[in-house]
Amino acid sequence: MAQERNLRLVRDDSAEPGVRLGDIRLRNRLVTSSSLLGYGVANAKVMAYGMSPISNFVPLERFGAVTTRTVTVEPREGHFTTKDDWELRELPGLLKRYGQALRQVDGGWLNAFGWCNVGIDAYLRDYYPRTRAQNTIMSVGGFSTEEFVTLVDKVNAAVPVGEIAALEFNVSCHNVNFDFNKIIESVLAEAVPRSNHPVILKLSPDYDYIGHARLAAKHGVSALTAINTVKGLRLDPETGTPLLKNGFGGLSGRAIKPIGLRVVKELRDADVTLPIIATGGIRSFDDCREYFWAGADAVSLGSASWFASYPGYALSPIYGARIRNLLRRIENYTPPAR
């Protein structure tokens, strides 16, 4: 199985169209990044798919896979909220909360949501059954090996083999104030072999990503996501206080695209052969091609595609049309041979 999981992206000649990253089946090479679309469905009519109104104008079932918000064993308010059924009259309160956990900065976004989520049991009970039309990558996170083992066991019990694309292990988030270096090897050694589903490891550019990629290959991980957000800080120039409630946050968007490209290229230069799902500042077809040339096997749309300034969301139908066009191009694109 470990040898099979180290296979690069190949065409799938079975009756079901799509591509494979080792034992991970994608519908195409374009996926969505964790958290941006919530759980793939929500309880609110205003933002039916999570945080981005743009998603109302894009067919999520056409993506290679939709990655969920990171879910944990127990519900977490984090630095935001678990509530997702906001009404229009509650919009001012919602915007105030967003202002403490998400800020637009030069060239991107700084966030510190802190793994706010409803917990794995509620997700599997209330959200996952409503997203069967999508191909799902479930993002899971924890603060110990035992928590990752529990998450794997719960998903194994609730989700039959083959019903999702993969589990993504988020062992690299910056805004939960935890040093994941302490647990990553034991998490991979104990939780990966228990999973009935392929496992993706999400890498941080602020950790030893080459070393972690090699650990992933050693322990049977199927693919890598490169990269997670970059740890950042912004201060109010008038008061010197941090813009975010958590202080530090994760920087995403156009500003980190050169970092993402560097990490993907360095992984390939280090002879890491696991399939790579690249993310970081991707918005256009040219962005995708750059990542493919650097060595990626699939690409993921994050905040550069799904977020806009609040007034900018009035253009959501136009942004949605741009994403649909990108989907069409990627569906018909073959990455360069390596």
pLDDT tens digits, 35-86: 889 999 888 765 666 668 899 899 999 999 999 999 999 999 988 888 877 7
Name the pLDDT band for 338 (thresholds 50, 70, 90). confident
Which pLDDT score is estimated for 3? Answer: 39
Whether the predicted pLDDT of 190 surpasses 90? yes
Whether the predicted pLDDT of 162 surpasses 80? yes
More confident residue, 217 or 56: 217
Q: What are phi and psi for residue 38, nearest 5 degrees?
A: 60, -125
The pTM for the full model equals: 0.92
More confident residue, 89 or 294: 294
Mean pLDDT of 109-117: 93
Strands (E), 68-185: 102-105, 108-111, 136-140, 166-170
Instruction: Dig out the tokens for 28 from the structure.
Output: 């195409």
More confident residue, 320 or 338: 320
Concatenating the DSSP letter of every residue in 186-248 gives HHHHHHGGG-SS-EEEEEPTTS-HHHHHHHHHHTT--EEEE--PEEE--B-TTT--BSBTTBS
CA dist., res. 68 & res. 168, Å (int): 9
pLDDT tens digits, 225-266: 999 999 999 999 999 999 998 899 999 999 999 999 999 999
In this structure, the number of other CB atoms found within 10 A of the CB of residue 310 comes to: 10
Which pLDDT score is estimated for 47? Answer: 61
Which pLDDT score is estimated for 9? Answer: 43
Catalytic position from the list 120, 173, 216, 221: 173
Strand partners for 57: none
Q: Which of 305, 311, 260, 316 shows the shortest CA–CA distance to 31?
A: 305
Whether the predicted pLDDT of 291 surpasses 60? yes
Instruction: Dig out the tokens for 36 from the structure.
Output: 């941006």
CA dist., res. 163 & res. 179, Å (int): 32
b/e string for 159-177 if b means 16 or more Cβ within 10 A? beeeebbbbbbbbbbbbbe
Instruction: Dig out the tokens for 273 from the structure.
Output: 């052969």
Question: Under a CB-based contact definition with an 8 Å cutoff, are residues 266 and 294 in contact?
Answer: no
Q: Express as a percent the part of the chain with pLDDT over 70.
A: 93
CA dist., res. 257 & res. 157, Å (int): 38
Task: Compute the mean pLDDT over every residue in the chain, rounded to the nearest whole number.
Answer: 91
Q: Is 173 known to be catalytic?
A: yes
Which pLDDT score is estimated for 2? Answer: 40
CA dist., res. 230 & res. 302, Å (int): 13
